[in-house]
A = this chain, B = another copy of it.
């Protein structure tokens, strides 16, 4: 990261640097990045505003989850050729102590799935929808960013629970895919006019669970349609991530009035709070659903680490279509 963006991030926030491949010492291993995950939370790490994790320092390697191969090892727990999931960031090689990686889950259709449906985003969708959202069969669930890494899994798990599932996405093509390939009951393009009215038309019984990872105008459109006792798992607010000032819209007090009148349950959650304790079991369940064809998954693959900044900026504007991953040296044997 070359500079801390104020407001909307641009390419000037990043710099490509070359350095020698590091030597390893006893207990360490050298990782070669095969796949890099690009996720909205990274915009938060670029800011030094108070948050739940420390910011990336200027001049430091951008943070990020990876699938990597052990190239050299002086660590007894890992052999050359092992594939691991690491938080080794936007770089081709990294040194690991072993304790900061996990082996890839078994039975992955592709290694990069460990960065999406079979990794942090999949577990995020599962915990946020089921623990926080607590959907019951027959209820209406709305998933924003419906074709994204998290939203697509939220919607499909909600279908498995017997819910009516409505997506919100950023193009007619994405909406068609959410309905045709993910099995959503309907999907509304948020670029269209009268978003509340469009949503109301496909949510005749109101909204019982709104899985929030967008914020802004989508939140505003959903709010009037929430039913009494509706639940809002707050996973992310991508529409706000580029905003420097105070966002506009309704006041917090007006929102609290709605919370009271409708007895809403609003809960923010971060998957890392419970990832260690629960991910293994949840990934087994998601893996089963994938094998059974009950969860469909789409990746948006960018080739070459040098293209990560542009792809990441596109992610913040919804230009990706599916889980965004960078093939750093994924084609290598």
Taking Cβ atoms with an 8 Å cutoff, the residues of A that contact B are 50-52, 212, 215-216, 219, 228, 234-237, 240, 246-257, 259-270, 273
A219–B256 CB distance below 8 A: yes
- Closest chain-B Cβ to A35's Cβ sits at a distance in Å of 27
A262–B268 CB distance below 8 A: yes
The verdict on A255 contacting B257 (CB below 8 Å), with A264-B268, A265-B265 known, is no
Nearest B residue (CB) for A235? B260
- Closest chain-B Cβ to A76's Cβ sits at a distance in Å of 37
A267–B269 CB distance below 8 A: no
- Nearest first, the 3 A-B pairs at minimum CB distance are A247-B253, A252-B255, A259-B268
* Cβ–Cβ < 8 Å partners of A50 in chain B: 261
B261–A251 CB distance below 8 A: no
The verdict on A249 contacting B253 (CB below 8 Å), with A265-B265, A265-B267, A267-B266 known, is yes
* Cβ–Cβ < 8 Å partners of A252 in chain B: 219, 249-252, 254-255
Contact of A246 among B52, B212, B251 (CB under 8 A): B251
* Cβ–Cβ < 8 Å partners of A261 in chain B: 50-52, 268
The verdict on A263 contacting B255 (CB below 8 Å), with A52-B228, A228-B52 known, is no
Give 14 A-B pairs besides A247-B253, A252-B254 with Cβ atoms closer than 8 angstroms: A52-B228, A52-B263, A212-B256, A215-B256, A219-B252, A235-B260, A240-B253, A240-B257, A246-B250, A248-B253, A251-B252, A252-B252, A262-B268, A265-B265
Most-contacted residue by chain B among A50, A52, A259 (CB, 10 A): A259
Nearest B residue (CB) for A231? B267
